[in-house]
Amino acid sequence: MNYIIGQSLGLIASCGSMISPFFKKKWMMLVNTIVANTLVALNFLLIGQIGSAIFLNLVAVVQGAVSLYHVRTETKINLFEKIIFLLLYVGLGTTGIVTAPDFVWEISAKNLIEILPIGGALFLMIGVFVRDEQKTRAFGLCNNILWITYDAIIGTTAIFGPAFGLISNISALYKYRKRKE
């Protein structure tokens, strides 16, 4: 039953990922990111995929909330916050690898696969922190590619989120491009 609920949450998160790049305002993209990352973390937990992805999605929720605060108050994200989130992503992502039930202290395919969400999370972090919506979408493309690869390998319905997100990001980049005259 947990597996079915988890995969259902992955599909719901996928729908959110599909529409997120089409929001014109940054705060709308951030709210959607917070909700989608919460659902994806629950997806991984319920399907038994204990690893870096859960930790990284939860950090993304907190980062989204901090970024939303900055957007709403029209303040800049400071260097300290950027460093903290970088350390959280790398530290908790690595912790997720080491604490996974099937972790062994050697280079293995499973351990290398767990690096993909860390890379995706770092692209998300940069995309959330930049002020320009187009740059956010561009970094989102890189994030989507790494998560698609990870989700395909572990076999989760959450794959549809980054897959639709990739298509949506490309479409939104085109839709909101700045015309050169």
Residue 105 has pLDDT above 70, yes or no: no
Residue 106: the pLDDT is 53
126 contacts 153 by C-beta, under 8 angstroms = no
Comparing 130 with 95, the larger pLDDT belongs to: 130
Tens digit of each residue's pLDDT (9 = 90 or more) over 31-53: 988 998 899 889 888 888 777 77
Q: What is the pTM of this model?
A: 0.71
Q: How many CA atoms lie within 13 A of 25 on its CB side?
A: 6
Q: What is the DSSP string of 71-83?
A: HHHT-PPPHHHHH
178 contacts 134 by C-beta, under 8 angstroms = yes
Q: H or E stretch including 152?
A: helix 133-154
How would you classify residue 121: left for phi > 0, otherwise alpha for psi between -120 and 50, otherwise beta? alpha
Residue 62 has pLDDT above 90, yes or no: yes
Tens digit of each residue's pLDDT (9 = 90 or more) over 128-174: 888 788 888 899 899 999 989 988 988 887 788 888 888 988 988 88
What distance in Å separates the CA atoms of residue 39 and residue 46, rounded to the nearest whole number? 10
- Backbone φ, ψ for residue 133 (5° rounding): -60, -35
| Residue 144 one-letter amino acid | N
Comparing 102 with 77, the larger pLDDT belongs to: 77
